């Protein structure tokens, strides 16, 4: 899948589009968050057996008033039962979302 197609898929998932129909592959999770030094840190709980693995990350900022969307792609390795993701803090009015995709299983975790 091309990078642009992957980004469209991530946006489809956070908007609960047709890709979310397979509940075994897309999981909405409560992430613990903390802020500091111009960034927000998310701790996403991982499904059993998927700790210590690599994840493709889509960091998404959306402004529902203006329709503005910004996205960054990244990759991270989890070393525990949680995946730590650091995002830049954006201006007021932007909602932050994370979509983490496990390449081997196709499981997508979405921060609530």
Q: Can you read off the two tokens belonging to residue 84? A: 């730590």
7 touches 57 (CB < 8 A): no
pLDDT 10s digits, 30-62: 999 998 888 999 999 999 999 999 999 999 999
Identify the structural domains of the chain with CATH numbers, from first to last. Answer: 3-111 (2.60.40.10)
Give the C-alpha separation, 34 to 27, whole Å: 21
Question: What is the pLDDT at residue 78?
Answer: 93
pLDDT of residue 3: 76
Q: Report the pLDDT value the prediction gives residue 18, as an integer from 0 to 100.
A: 79
pTM exceeding the 0.75 threshold for the entire prediction? yes
Look at residue 112 and tell me whether its pLDDT is greater than 70.
Answer: yes
- pLDDT digit string, tens, across residues 5-30: 778 888 888 887 777 776 678 999 99
């Amino acid at each position: 899948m091309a990078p642009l197609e992957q980004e469209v898929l991530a946006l489809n998932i956070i908007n609960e589009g047709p890709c979310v129909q397979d509940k075994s592959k897309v999981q909405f999770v409560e992430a613990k968050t903390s802020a500091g030094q111009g960034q927000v840190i998310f701790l996403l709980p991982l499904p059993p057996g998927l700790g210590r693995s690599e994840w493709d990350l889509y960091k998404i900022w959306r402004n529902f008033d203006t329709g503005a969307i910004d996205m960054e792609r990244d990759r991270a390795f989890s070393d525990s039962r949680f995946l730590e993701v650091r995002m830049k803090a954006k201006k007021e009015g932007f909602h932050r979302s994370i979509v983490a995709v496990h390449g081997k299983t196709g499981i997508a975790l979405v921060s609530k």
